[in-house]
Chain A
Amino acid sequence: GENVEQHPSTLSVQEGDSAVIKCTYSDSASNYFPWYKQELGKRPQLIIDIRSNVGEKKDQRIAVTLNKTAKHFSLHITETQPEDSAVYFCAAPLSGGYNKLIFGAGTRLAVHP
């Protein structure tokens, strides 16, 4: 069946360091890969997404890279700040359209001052 694997499950960094979270997916037809951030006690919110016609997308300190051949995509956060501490979820489409997504298990990022 379709699957999205996310690693690591927890990540601890010092403020100012970079953080990288990686996801692999199984459906080679997948064409949309969003990343959601969920702060403690709050709802998930989209922070960045990438479509399969590009290999990289940046938004200030956040970037996502996509390797379609290897079927993996990664979230890169540079110059991390304590407010980046949250759980991050990657997702990929389930077949059948209608904006159905399958989410990874999440990465709990802790940024220490």
Chain B
Amino acid sequence: ETGVTQTPRHLVMGMTNKKSLKCEQHLGHNAMYWYKQSAKKPLELMFVYSLEERVENNSVPSRFSPECPNSSHLFLHLHTLQPEDSALYLCASSQERGTGFGEQFFGPGTRLTVL
């Protein structure tokens, strides 16, 4: 596997279910991100992890819970979701540099449908 991978690619869940999205980056990067992409807000930052420490949660509802066990893996735990949470969830990674921004590499996304 190369780049940024995400599983599952598609997920259908009921409002009372608990599920997790997984992201893995094979680029040796030190920062990882979760984005939500929907028709309403095309690319909305949810969480940022830098060196495995969460540095931004961007006012995301508590029914979304991120976890970053190491610099290569990122999870998004989902529970008690609402139908409006249906969207494409994109993971990204980048190499943080003291000199400025690094390119963000995106995964293919997980298409989530909440019934």
Report A's interface with B, CB cutoff 8 A: 31-32, 34, 42-46, 49, 51, 87, 89, 91, 93-94, 96, 98-106
Contact = CB atoms under 8 A, between A and B. Distances in A.
B79 to A, nearest CB: 26
B38 to A, nearest CB: 11
A9 B103 CA distance: 24
Interface in B28-81: 31, 41-45, 48, 50, 55-56
23 contacts: A32-B100, A32-B101, A34-B103, A43-B106, A43-B107, A44-B43, A46-B103, A87-B42, A91-B43, A98-B50, A98-B56, A99-B50, A99-B102, A99-B104, A100-B45, A100-B56, A101-B101, A103-B42, A103-B43, A103-B44, A104-B42, A105-B41, A105-B42
Given A32-B101, A43-B108, A44-B106, A100 B43 contact: no
Contacts of A87: 42
A87 B107 CA distance: 17
Given A98-B31, A98-B56, A99-B94, A89 B103 contact: no
Nearest to A91: B43
A42 B109 CA distance: 9
A31 to B, nearest CB: 7
